[in-house]
A and B are shown apart, each in its own frame.
Chain A
Amino acid sequence: QKEVEQNSGPLSVPEGAIASLNCTYSDRGSQSFFWYRQYSGKSPELIMFIYSNGDKEDGRFTAQLNKASQYVSLLIRDSQPSDSATYLCAVNAGGTSYGKLTFGQGTILTVHP
């Protein structure tokens, strides 16, 4: 069964610190990887996506992908209270399931002042 796993948290970090969110996936054929942020009662918002091994940076966010270890992470630098949300890792399957996203259960992040 294709699965995406995240530590549900909650992860609590002080304002200004680096928040590190992790995700593992079971399907080696997975093609692309996404991080979505979801505020309570709202729909998910795309933060980052990554297709190739290595790091991808966008502002305060860095996505890291290691396909050999089936591991993807999201680093948030200079964390702000407004970053407090649930972060969803999503994996785009390969093969005949291409295009379908499988979501992890999400990690609750709390950034305290």
Chain B
Amino acid sequence: GAVVSQHPSWVICKSGTSVKIECRSLDFQATTMFWYRQFPKQSLMLMATSNEGSKATYEQGVEKDKFLINHASLTLSTLTVTSAHPEDSSFYICSARPDRNQPQHFGDGTRLSIL
């Protein structure tokens, strides 16, 4: 149980392109999902908390206009990287949990490369 699916696994695109990443909870409903970013040889950094039916909560230093989050249903959250630039290249990972007292389970991650 507690399977989280993330799509796509890899994205390579040109600078200035917008990229959408999907995160789905497959066997449970998630009112809250989390988006992380991980640079090479570094740990996970929380970018934002995605809340179903309301605005996402962004961590300090994360540009909300650049990283658009939409949590339109109890099983789907999307992260759109707008006007992506090479410095946005990273490993983006989402997570979700069945309820607030359960551990977070991670999707497989999306490796984003901006040329």
Q: Which residues of chain A have a CB within 8 Å of any CB of chain B?
A: 32, 34, 36, 42-46, 49, 88, 98-106
Contacts and interface: CB of A to CB of B under 8 A. Distances in A.
Interface of B: 6, 32, 34, 42-46, 49, 93, 95, 100-101, 103-109
Nearest to B104: A101
Contacts, number: 44
B32 A103 contact: no
Contacts of B101: 32
A43 B104 contact: no
A46 B2 CA distance: 11
B81 to A, nearest CB: 18
The 10 closest A-B pairs by CB, nearest first: A43-B109, A43-B106, A103-B43, A105-B43, A103-B44, A49-B103, A43-B93, A44-B106, A46-B103, A43-B108
A105 B93 contact: no
Given A46-B105, A49-B103, A104-B43, 6 more contacts: A43-B107, A43-B108, A98-B100, A100-B49, A101-B34, A101-B46
A49 B46 CA distance: 19
Contact of B46 (A100, A105, A106): A100
Contacts of A32: 101, 103
A100 B32 CA distance: 10
Given A100-B46, A103-B43, A45 B106 contact: yes
